[in-house]
Amino acid sequence: MCGLLGLLTPNASAEDVVDAVGKASHCMRHRGPDEPGTWHDADLAYGFNRLSIIDIEHSHQPLRWGPPENPTRYALTFNGEIYNYLELRDTLAREHGAVFATEGDGEAVAAALHYWGDDAVRRLRGMFAIALWDTETRELFLARDPFGIKPMFYATGPGGTAFGSEKKSVLELLGPLGSTEDLDPRAIEHYTVLQYVPEPETLHASIRRLESGTFARLRPGGSIEPVRYFRPTFPIRPFTADSQERRYREIAEALEDSVAKHMRADVTVGSFLSGGIDSTAIAALAMRHNPNLITFTTGFERDGYSEVDVAAESAALIGAKHIVRVVGPEEFAASIPEIVWYLDDPVADPALVPLYFVAKEARKHVKVVLSGEGADELFGGYTIYREPLSLKPFEALPGGLRKLAGRLSERIPDGTRGKSLLNRGSMSLEERYYGNARSFNDAHLRSVLREFKPEWTHTDVTAPIYAMSAGWDPVARMQHLDLFTWLRGDILVKADKMTMANSLELRVPFLDPEVFAVAEQVPLEQKITKTTTKYALRRALDGIVPDHVLNRAKLGFPVPLRHWLRGPELFDWAHQQIADSGTDHLLHKPAITQMLNDHREGRADHSRRLWTVLIFMVWHGIFVERRIVPTIAEPTYPVHI
């Protein structure tokens, strides 16, 4: 685990270039405070910050490896963990005679790419952003894991091609790319609609992200042209009366094997624990490998916005030591500039704030945590996935009648029962579904954005993804869409950024190729029923997860944002952010102020829309105006926990 940074440039060995890479990599020292450093040859300069998890005393980065005839041919730096590295090392030694000098996973990555070529990335079970430099061919290989758990940004400027784990380091390295003129108006609109910036975009037009499930090869002076190696499919296999129990066992066994491999570490591993089935399943399975497991949860002192009691009951039943972190509104507001700085690009999901605080608490006790991200996308866990069932009657209507239903919905006042059903029933799946973030409609966008273009809204992002799933059942198409949008744009970004902000490694056992292999075959009726979600997963976890959680509805880490923006907790803070923000050229600030006042008076619930705009204003104040300067403390964590 580390934060990596690289610059491919003809003068990589120049002292000022190496110094610049080292200085820029210091921006992400929180990702790896155990071992910072730089390395270079004639064409490539690396900066790195290592968080030592496996083979702590060795496996330093950049790691040099090569075949016997040239044992230092490759220079590797990578962010992540390869959980099947022991099996890979055995196979590589047996089949190819590979020789290893360390006990870590880094050499397994380098050897796999040497002997297996591009196919190696398909054989890695883990989370990774890889940079491998071949000193013989003078070629750089970049890759990200299938689901996008670990990030990779890149940009080409006058000084060469920079790539790294965090955008702020790439910005600092290439300097002038961070100007106001470099802001991408299309990405800003996408963010406003989706509440995150979709891959491969960032809010800076010159900086892109290497997409999840892709790799690229690059020579000095060349350009990055990603190749997709992971194309998720849903080859449904019906459950039969004879196979049903066996299929449930397959799901449980795949998840248990994944958790076992995710427990591999030379440091202490803990687990996040909410009141839901996903994190509880991970913690219960982890207890089988570490009976001294510590679990962590967070909540707020407001009824309906905390799962602390449920999580504590679960921890007691599985026998884990449990630690709770309660977040108050004052520290919630005070933390926002720091949190946005860590994010690089804005993510308007308020749940990342309690996640930041529970990660900070967990880092006092452990160096690695497991978590339940990905279960909803793989097994059908979002309640919105039940929507195709409720809208099925509309599918039988002729096109003209469906459009009429849409026109009727426009005449019904907002908040009236049935308005949303008519509106959504009048649209196709491709038109109506673009993930869990649906706070801004076109009317809201026109009132808020100074440059609004309808062709830049969600279909601009989702149409190519939907094209890959033509002919699938609607729930499988929604899951597939979420893998490329909500999961990698929101869920995994906040998980990576908020834990790494605290030098804590987060591992997600659901997002494992072997777990996905069983999940993708689950038929519709085993995902969604009229009364529950994730039906097959719940059946598979019967006897593993305590009964009080097994069929409990998902809550996660909810935030009382609606209430706080109406009261003293956040209203004054929000009003001041709007007044101070230098975004008048991008946003209609009077309209936003009116939204805030309407929300306070109870005329509408604008909480998610306001939060989306406010987080953007804070981001703009930090990265563009330089008006907001968060205080970022030096990491002081010990190497071994």
| Structural domains present in the chain | 2-228 (3.60.20.10), 244-381+484-550 (3.40.50.620), 385-443+467-483 (no CATH)
84 within 8 A of 262, measured Cβ to Cβ: no
Q: Is 164 labelled a binding residue?
A: no
Strands 74-82 and 126-134: antiparallel
* Positions marked active-site: 2
324 within 8 A of 308, measured Cβ to Cβ: yes
E-strand ranges in 579-622 read: none
Query: Per residue in 257-316, pLDDT tens?
Result: 999 999 999 999 999 999 899 999 999 999 999 999 999 999 887 666 678 889 999 999
| Average pLDDT taken over every residue of the chain | 93
125 within 8 A of 230, measured Cβ to Cβ: no
pTM of the prediction?
0.95
- Given the structure tokens 């004879």, which residue do they identify? 242
Alpha carbons 573 and 146: distance in angstroms, whole number: 39
What stretch of H or E contains 128?
A: strand 126-134
The SS3 call for residue 91 is helix
Tokens of 286: 């982890």
What stretch of H or E contains 335?
A: helix 329-343
Chain centroid to Cα 296, Å, comes to 20
Q: Is 80 labelled a binding residue?
A: no
What stretch of H or E contains 562?
A: helix 561-564
Nearest to 143 by CA among 230, 202, 69: 230
Residue 566's CB: how many other CB atoms inside 10 A? 17
Torsion angle of C-alpha atoms 304, 306, 310, 316, degrees rounded to 10:
-160
Burial of 223 (0-12, 13-18, 19+ CB in 10 A): exposed
217 DSSP β-pair partners: 141
pLDDT at position 555, please?
Answer: 62
43 within 8 A of 12, measured Cβ to Cβ: yes
The stretches in the chain having pLDDT less than 50 are none
Q: Is 469 labelled a binding residue?
A: no
302 within 8 A of 560, measured Cβ to Cβ: yes
Chain centroid to Cα 100, Å, comes to 32
pLDDT at position 458, please?
Answer: 87
